[in-house]
Amino acid sequence: MEKFTVYTREDYEKLSAELNRLKTEGRDDIAEKIKEARSHGDLSENAEYDEAMNEQAKMEAEIAKLEAELRNAKILDEADLTTEVVHIGSKVKLLDLEYNEELEYKILGKSDIEHGVISDLSPVGSAVMNKKVGDVADVHTPSGKVIKMQILAISK
């Protein structure tokens, strides 16, 4: 069974734009660096050439990764979202009952903690799925600790 990663339309478009940028500008930049390095003569002792080739390999790996992500992407139709229970695409406000700390996340198929996005398969994401406002979820951490979180709000 193939695993899909769920994206909002906006996040999918950002990923597509980054892939397009790498395929055009990124490849052109690397080609120019390689051409410049080749003009310096003997390639066997040319550190600039080696570095340009390493950059090219890294960029091609990133392109392959983005292509695979887009191939296995499912775009969330945000019009279909409800706020009755937590599901993929929900924004959820939680209260960590141990530390009395409020947290807010959007639940999608891939985590991006810096932007407040967690995966539906993460400990927090899987614990709050299908819960309602007021419910308390037991979050099982990788260390074995159980954190209790109360759902304060669900939004789109």
Summarised one tens digit per residue, pLDDT across range 42-75 is 777 778 888 999 999 999 999 999 999 899 888 8
Which residues of the chain are modeled with pLDDT < 70? Answer: 1-3
Q: What are the structural domain ranges in the chain?
A: 5-75, 78-155
Those residues whose C-beta lies under 8 Å from the C-beta of residue 27, and which sit 6 or more positions away, are 59
CA-atom Rg of the chain in angstroms: 22
CATH number of 5-75: 1.10.287.180
- Give pTM, 2 decimals: 0.63
49: Cβ contacts below 8 Å, ≥ 6 apart: 34, 37, 38, 40, 43
What is the CATH number assigned to the segment(s) 78-155? 3.10.50.30
